[in-house]
Amino acid sequence: MDHVRELPRAGAVRVWLVDTETPSRIGPMDGAGVLDADELRRAAAFRFDRDRERYMAAHLALRGILGEQLGRAPGEVHFVRQPCPDCGKPHGRPALADAPRLHFSLSHSGDRALVALAAAPVGADVEEVPSRTIAEELATVLHPREQAELASLDDPLERRTAVARVWVRKEAYLKGLGIGLARRTDLDYVGSVPGSPVAPDGWTVHDVPMPEGYAAAVALSPRS
């Protein structure tokens, strides 16, 4: 998979960066015979071909990575949804149906995707650095301490980059919890300082180096 590159470990988390603009060699780009019915349904819901192709490239890459770890073909990797920790319904973190000790997370944005694997619940998030307008909107829904840190930054690009850094840390943590953005984004403080993420409740959070214009982070649970 020449469009998939393993990055240096982020603590105890293995991380791969995927170029979703490069055609996958795992299977046909329509996903036939590899992606399951739910993935194909989600892919078909995209309005634009480019978004659909990027989604499928990310999921084919995830299946290739997991298949390699499990010693099986990508199309033989089977997923389930864990119970939501908030309501108990089956829309929590995705998990492997028959390998519950191998935890994973997938995120994609623009032409990049991030895959994280760990021996404990893990969340990953990658985002394009937002425009100035979107960055200002996102800043209003962050933790009060994060808002104060961002307000102290005078340079617009530095502030946009800092917003992206906070957001990926926060979303990685929330994805690891299995709640996602159903939980208010002003409740948990993860900080905006480069290289110094703060992790709530015993979790660990790591920034992941990305190409220019992107930010990424992974979050790892203290519980296996």
Starting from the edge strand earliest in sequence, which strands make up the sheet with 112-118, in order?
Answer: 4-10, 13-19, 112-118, 103-109
Residue 11 has pLDDT above 90, yes or no: yes
The helix/strand/coil state of 95 is: strand
Measured at the alpha carbon of residue 110, what is the angle toward residues 60 and 137, in degrees to the nearest 5? 135
Does the pLDDT value for residue 139 go beyond 90? yes
pTM of the model: 0.94
Beta bridge partners of 96: 79
Q: Taking residues 18-44, report their average pLDDT.
A: 82
Q: Which domains does the chain have, with CATH numbers?
A: 4-124 (3.90.470.20), 129-201 (no CATH)
d(CA 153, CA 162) in angstroms, rounded, equals 9
Q: Tell me the sheet residues that pair with 6.
A: 16
SS (H, E, C) 12-80: CEEEEEEECCCCCCCCCCCCCCCCCHHHHHHHHCCCCHHHHHHHHHHHHHHHHHHHHHHCCCHHHCCEE
Confidence band for 224, pLDDT divided at 50, 70 and 90: confident
CA–centroid distance for 194 within its chain: 19
Report CA 2 to chain centroid distance, whole Å.
Answer: 20
pLDDT in tens, 47-101: 999 999 999 999 999 999 999 999 999 999 999 998 888 787 777 889 999 998 9
**Measured CA angle at 201 (ends 183, 8), to 5 deg:** 95
